[in-house]
Amino acid sequence: MVDRTVAGRYRLTEKLGAGGMGVVWRAEDTRLRRIVAVKELLARNGFDEESTRRAVREARIAARLQHSNVIALYDVVEDEGHPWLVMEYLPAKSLSAVISERGTLPADEVRRIAVQLAEGLAAAHKAGVVHRDVKPGNVLVTEFGTVKVTDFGTSRAADEATVTSSGLLVGTPAYLAPEVAQGSPADFPADVFGLGATLYAALEGSPPFGEDTNAIALLHRAAAGTFPAPENAGALEPVLLRLLDADPGARPTMAEAARMLQEISVEPVTVLASPTPVEAEPTRVVPPAKATTELPEPEPESEPEPEPVVEEEDPQRKRFALVAVVLIMVVVGTVAFLITRSRGKDDKAADTTTTTTGQTVATSAPPTSDAGQPPPQGETPVTSTTSEAPPPTTVPPAAVTPDKALVDYYALLPGNIDAAFPTLTESFRNGRGVDYDYYRNFWAGYSAVSLSNVQVVGENQVSATVNYTDLSGAQKSENNLFTLVKSGDKWLIDNQVGI
């Protein structure tokens, strides 16, 4: 059990990993009460005052980055003569560990990892930050498929995996760009090559220049820029070869690389220009040429037909029509009165019924005919009834859709772990090595989570933006594609990948 507090604030709790130039610890920030990752930077020749200042300067640059695919850098402190980087803690495995466990990864999975990695690095380049050490060991992959790149700036601060001013090579050159292996400074194109070399390793199981223990031999191959053609890249091969071009000027920018990986296309973006309006030429009026031949004589106009003569109406006929209309109205009125009077008598003679609150109550008097006499023997008396209202119809509850099930799942978090954990399928948990303790520890680092942009995009597939708020109040968002499966009357989450 480690019992050490760095800079009087960060209490080390667990060693997470170590490399040639540093050791990473899981630690507790005793001031803000949150879990962080702390990396102690080491150098073979020790840190002098200048190297410490350089580490602080690089950390300040890296701290400007705020992106969902970049591990956030919180602080840089000095303890016992060594600089320490305080970073976001992410329960995840490095891509290097994933490759060691599985050998090679499918091209589709590599593409999903590549898109997120390229977007994180593109954000860094936009902020003017060069990573200088892009490799699988610096790429973290969570059980949910989220990818984050870490260790920005530390390669230069610790002189790791670069040629130093004294000519010494520190670290492995397996992922170095050819120009860096030849002695040129690492710049933005070198990161693009590092991205390609990382994807090559994930597809083929080893980096482009191999894993020779002889660093000089590796450096020689890296400087030459030659490597075996990829065998498992599939549709990714054209993009991969562009990233690994030996000429730094021929490589795409990181933003272009992210687009190429998203679209699996090396074609440049075509921008359609708006059509330029063309002014219409004015219409020219050409006067008719002078006739050289005689025009035919016009045909004689036809005489207009005479208008029909309207005869005046006969006043006697008009009076006769008016009298006829009046007589018809009198007859219709008389017939309507007789019908109404007859119906009134029928109603008085009929058996009376009284209806109260939907129930029909019949009078005790026997029904009578129109003449007020009992109906003839053998005939069935007719009684008037009022039909009861139909029974209320019960509307079944609407079926829960996958997007609603996903919203309901995240509504349980981070507080109700016991109810949320069974929503993950056994395949989901086993495929990512997620047990209950791991799941609980993951959500212990967050105070709130919400969903936005929830949309059904395919059969049982939902895309959504997951918005996290950690214990310090810092917020971050991730775009994910979820696959859900039906188990009885419930939806379960079977897969989650970053998009």
| Cα(145)–Cα(68) distance, integer angstroms | 13
Residue type at position 407 = V
CATH number of 402-498: 3.10.450.50
How far CA 69 is from CA of 107, 210, 451, in Å, comes to 20, 28, 18
| Cα(424)–Cα(413) distance, integer angstroms | 13
Do 53 and 27 contact (CB within 8 A), yes or no? no
CATH number of 93-263: 1.10.510.10
> What string of pLDDT tens digits covers the 499 residues of the chain?
568 999 999 999 999 888 766 889 999 999 999 999 999 887 666 666 777 777 777 777 778 788 989 998 898 898 888 889 999 999 899 999 999 999 999 999 999 999 999 999 999 999 888 888 899 999 999 988 899 999 875 544 333 444 444 444 434 588 999 999 999 988 999 999 999 999 999 999 999 999 877 888 888 999 999 999 999 999 999 999 999 999 999 999 999 999 999 998 877 654 444 444 444 444 444 444 444 444 445 555 555 555 544 444 455 555 666 666 667 776 667 666 666 665 554 554 444 443 334 443 343 444 444 444 444 444 444 444 444 555 555 555 567 899 999 999 999 999 898 889 999 998 888 777 778 888 888 898 889 999 999 999 888 899 999 999 988 888 888 988 999 998 888 899 988 988 8
Do 124 and 57 contact (CB within 8 A), yes or no? no
Do 26 and 89 contact (CB within 8 A), yes or no? yes
The residues, ordered by sequence, that sit 6+ positions from 332 with a Cβ below 8 Å of its Cβ are none
Do 175 and 96 contact (CB within 8 A), yes or no? no
| Cα(179)–Cα(210) distance, integer angstroms | 18
Question: Which residues face 73 on adjacent strands?
Answer: 87
CATH number of 4-88: 3.30.200.20
| Cα(19)–Cα(150) distance, integer angstroms | 14
| Residue ranges per structural domain of the chain | 4-88, 93-263, 402-498
Q: Which residues of 303-317 are buried (b: 16+ CB within 10 A; e: fewer)?
A: eeeeeeeeeeeeeee
The catalytic residue positions are: 133
Annotated binding site for ATP: 39
| Cα(421)–Cα(118) distance, integer angstroms | 31
Compute the half-sphere exposure of residue 212: CA atoms within 13 Å on the CB side of its CA.
13
User: Both tokens of residue 336?
Assistant: 């309507």
End-to-end CA, the chain: 39
| Cα(417)–Cα(18) distance, integer angstroms | 32
